[in-house]
A and B are shown apart, each in its own frame.
Chain A
Amino acid sequence: MSINDLFHNGLKPVNLGLDMFADDLKAQGVDPVLMEWTPPGGGDPEVIAALSRLEDPANASKIDAANQVALDRILSAQPFLEGFGQAIDTVPGMTAKTILHAGPPIEFPRMSGPMKGAVTGALVFEGLAKNVDEAFELAASGEITFSPCHEHQSVGSMAGVTSASMWVHQVTNRTHGNTAYTNLSEQLSKILRFGANDQSVIDRLNWMRDVLGPVLAGAMALNTDGIDLRLMLSQALHMGDEAHNRNVAGTTLLIQALAPYILESDFTTKDKREVFDFVASSDYFSGPTWMVAAKASMDAANGVENSTVVTTMARNGVDFGIRVSGTGNQWFTGPAQQVVGPMFAGYTEADSGLDMGDSAITETFGIGGFAMAAAPAIVALVGGTVADAMNYSRTMNAITTGNNPNITIPALDFMGVPSGIDVRKVMETGILPIINTAIAHKDPGIGMIGAGITHPPVEAFQQALRALADGIAI
């Protein structure tokens, strides 16, 4: 390379910065390459320094190799639904007085309105408190152990509140041998996970404990093969789901697979009929199933030394936390964000609680917002056009390590869903992961009021990047 090469070859400039320079170049007959640039690291000098350290060729090659290992684990995971059990019998570390919740760790006083509503409702449901008032006292008393679902091989949608007698999915990643858990869908709207806790909510939870859980468990006890969730998820995406906010196809496929075993089980026809009616009452029935499938896959990718791949994104309604493969179980947090999208009639943005739930495990895995292009039916959530939805999925390629060949998007020429969010790329490009999610009312006891899209806070990625840079320097 020499400076004189520049004089003899045609000038082909990249214009990084002021557009007026590009306009002048065009006026002179030169076609500049244009940039849509934002300051890396959210503009934080320390983060930029950390980014530069990770970019050092020796470090970069170590990280790239580690990320490939993490990605391979995500892509090769085979989550199978093996059965259903009660949390107390299955979830590691569960006790009668433990309440698991969504997101990173949080003490009861700091919890958001809807999460407090869910916690107190669960205490009433478990018979630990006679009513919600008493439950508030108990929750604040220190007698109850609060712990993130994610620290118990579990995920929980919205408030994620999981108590001892709730029934959970048991999903095993047959490639890597790890198991993950999540509770059952209460279907939509005025439900515990959105912070509602009146008698109708408790009644439903009782029925789920006494009928739904046992029927599903009984059915799966008859299905000795288990259900290949990755295959089913892949089909669901081809049928127009993105498997976070649209689960029409996935729910149909799942109940179709369960139905023969439910029929074959010894429960009464009335019970079976109630189960089918319950499933039919909301498309969301399979929502938790895809979450736990994603969790079983992502847990396998955790703990790869030097890897900058994100393995958890989870929110508790106050903080948004991420965990990264190379830093294991350490949480990096920032403030949970507003979710922007259509609201149910009568509610406004002022009513909405902040982003909440472990459901962003779907985006961490590569579905949900990342697979928006598979679900043109719900582009209203992103407030835009089908082209916008296509763009969301394509854009995520810029911050991920690779694409999942097993789960593809037909409208993008069967592009695999973007997988393995790389903290470095998020900080370099300024593109934050996109998350499709539901909106809970900010106050306890009300429930779901809308759905839309949101992003993690920049701060969580900044912290993670600094920790990764510190870690690799050793």
Chain B
Amino acid sequence: MTRHIEIRKNSYLDSVSLMSMSTKANAVDGVTLALLGMATPMNKEVLLNVGVSDPAVDAAKPSDLMVVIDATDDTIGAAIEAVNDILARKNKGSGDAAEVRYRTLDGAFSEVADTNLVIISVNGAFAAREARKALNAGKHVMIFSDNVSVEDELALKTLAHEKGLLVMGPDCGTAIINGVGLAFANAVRRGNIGIVGASGTGSQELSVRIHDFGGGVSQLLGTGGRDLSAEIGGISMIDSIRALDADPETAVIVIVSKPPAEEVADKVLAVAGAASKPVIVNFLGSQRTESGYANVTMTSGTKPAAVAAVLAAGIDKSTLDLHALNIPLIEEVRAKLVPEQKYIRGLFCGGTLCDESMFAALDKYDNVYSNIQKDPQYKIGATDPSREHTFLDMGDDDFTNGRPHPMIDPTMRLQRLAQEANDPEVGVIAMDFIVGFGSHDDPVGVTIPAITEAKAKAAARGQHLEILGYVLGTDLDTPAVADQIAMLEAAGVTISSSSTNLGLLAREFVAKGDN
């Protein structure tokens, strides 16, 4: 075994590229460990954790690139060469004379006059500063990056508000502007329904359901998950509602969020109530059923919200395929489960999808654990084993810390699936598969072997393990939803037609006796 440690001074690569390069480097023949990363304190700790300690690593700065390769003595030379090739790919395309790249936003703005939106997905520590530059130059901003402080978020949104600009994010995963999907988005029909979402996959789900019901989307604006907190006060949400109210192409406004702070909810509803258009509200998990405004309708889930929106947008109710809960299916699954198979395990890429299913379970059961549970008694961490009913948002920070999001790289979820399948008390494993812009190009395909194995494990102990899947996407997405569903069905997976139904079906499958 030979260890190669190289510090490349002042070489920057973004963490997502480095993670994908590390994955490739680990697959090189003879390599037992390959780690490519910027020399941040966190990455240094990662190295220490895998037993790599070296003065060169200690001395490296966050602006330096660390290359660590362990390989067998006879392959190390070839491995270094292979890793160098992987790293060199960064410049793929930059030799193309037509591709111009700018080092600074100011440089880009001065060379390209008509830019109007900056999509920021750099490390959160640097995102606020770049966003401020964009706003000061009069550009709208979408901040995909997370780990931006609340103070920065408030300052940016206040600045944007003063300037009449839009700040989507931080931690805004999706938007559709003028029919163009940004970051994680689905290909949906254009139409007259405007969406404002404080939850990324919730917004995606709404847009997909609206498309499915024959409606279309005028604009989908994201606000970032913290916008409706007491600290931020819904600045982006309120500005977005007003903008959609003033937009002649928007007839109906839908807003989706996790439960907002009470006073912010009041404020947002008041703005919605002052709008000239119908506003459909879905505050996930909120107990509010009345808005107090004639034009503002409260709904209980993403699907009811989509239904209300398309009806308000003028679509005839008789044309809707509402996909009511399939009661015979529920009976059939219940019959296959043995009495000890009492629990649901939800393994989610989408945070809102996890939320929605978890809230469905909470309506019926108390013993619901999750990494996104508000109640500390029921909160579990990423490395904790699942307990009773467990819903994991695997895109949450405690899972993704230093690793790619499961929508991009499903590896982490496959491992968890194998673990859950070992538990004889599990009746249902619920999973979401998100296709579309930004997502893995075949999320179902990479998961099928793990699903087959999980089912086989249960079968070996004489159990039927129910795997319930939901594919978020449209017929216009790549890959198309129908193809992904066909693959799941072939593997014996039961398909839910929506996020809302996913939670309800999972809950009902494991209900016993009088429940």
Q: Which residues of A contact B (CB under 8 A)?
A: 1-7, 9-21, 24-25, 27-28, 30, 32-40, 42-45, 48, 51-52, 337, 398, 428-432, 455, 458-459
Contact = CB atoms under 8 A, between A and B. Distances in A.
B240 A3 contact: yes
Interface in B227-250: 239-240, 242-243, 246-247, 249
B177 to A, nearest CB: 5
Interface stretch (B138-146, B198-206, B391-399): B138-146
Given A9-B116, A16-B120, A17-B144, A398 B181 contact: no
B178 A36 contact: no
Interface in B128-153: 129-130, 134, 138-140, 144-145
29 contacts: A3-B164, A3-B165, A3-B239, A3-B242, A4-B246, A7-B219, A7-B243, A12-B117, A13-B117, A15-B121, A16-B120, A17-B119, A17-B122, A18-B14, A21-B183, A21-B438, A28-B437, A35-B102, A36-B102, A37-B122, A38-B103, A39-B63, A39-B123, A42-B10, A51-B129, A430-B12, A430-B63, A432-B10, A458-B63
A40 B127 CA distance: 11
In terms of DSSP, what is the predominant structure of the interface of chain A?
Answer: mixed
Interface string B38-67: 101000000000000000000001110000
A455 B10 contact: yes
B62 A4 contact: no
B9 interface: yes
Contacts of B12: 38-39, 430
Nearest to B16: A18
Contact of B437 (A16, A24, A337): A24
Contacts of A11: 116-117, 177-178, 180
Nearest to A49: B129
Contact of A13 (B63, B99, B102, B182): B182
Contacts of A4: 243, 246-247
A20 B144 CA distance: 13
A15 B115 contact: no
B102 A34 contact: yes
Given A13-B118, A14-B115, A337-B9, A36 B247 contact: no
A27 B477 CA distance: 12
Contact of A33 (B14, B102, B219): B102
B62 A24 contact: no
Contact of A39 (B62, B109, B180): B62
10 shortest interchain CB distances as A-B pairs: A17-B121, A43-B62, A36-B101, A3-B243, A42-B63, A38-B12, A24-B437, A1-B164, A429-B103, A18-B121
B10 A458 contact: yes
Nearest to A25: B180
Contacts of A458: 9-10, 61, 63
Most buried by A among B10, B38, B164, B438: B10
B487 to A, nearest CB: 23
Contact of A40 (B61, B118, B129, B249): B129
Given A9-B116, A13-B118, A17-B121, A398 B243 contact: no
Interface residues on B, range: 35 or more
Given A3-B240, A458-B63, A14 B108 contact: yes
B192 to A, nearest CB: 13
Interface in B88-126: 94, 99-105, 107-109, 112, 114-123, 125-126
Contacts of A16: 105, 118-122, 130
A16 B139 CA distance: 13
B36 interface: no
Contacts of B105: 14, 16, 35
B121 A30 contact: no
B163 interface: yes
Contacts of A27: 437
A33 B115 contact: yes
B62 A44 contact: yes
Given A3-B243, A7-B249, A12-B115, A398 B103 contact: yes
Contacts of A6: 116-117, 140, 166, 177-178
Nearest to A52: B129
Contacts of B40: 43
A368 to B, nearest CB: 19
B131 to A, nearest CB: 9
B119 A21 contact: yes
A277 to B, nearest CB: 42
A303 B505 CA distance: 75
Interface string B191-223: 000000000000000000000000000110000
Contacts of A459: 61
Contacts of A38: 12, 63, 103
Contacts of A428: 104
A30 B180 contact: yes
Contacts of A40: 126, 129
Contacts of B126: 39-40, 43, 48
Most buried by A among B38, B94, B104, B164: B104
Nearest to A429: B103
Contact of A398 (B100, B107, B180): B107
A34 B101 contact: yes
Given A3-B243, A7-B178, A14 B139 contact: yes
A315 B413 CA distance: 52
A455 B63 CA distance: 14
A43 B119 contact: no
A9 B136 CA distance: 19
A36 B102 CA distance: 5
A48 B129 contact: yes
Nearest to A48: B129
A33 B108 contact: yes
Nearest to A29: B180
Contacts of B115: 12-14, 33
Contacts of B101: 34-36
Given A16-B105, A34-B100, 19 more contacts: A2-B243, A3-B242, A4-B246, A6-B117, A6-B178, A11-B180, A13-B119, A14-B105, A17-B14, A18-B16, A20-B438, A21-B183, A28-B437, A30-B180, A36-B101, A36-B103, A39-B125, A429-B104, A458-B9
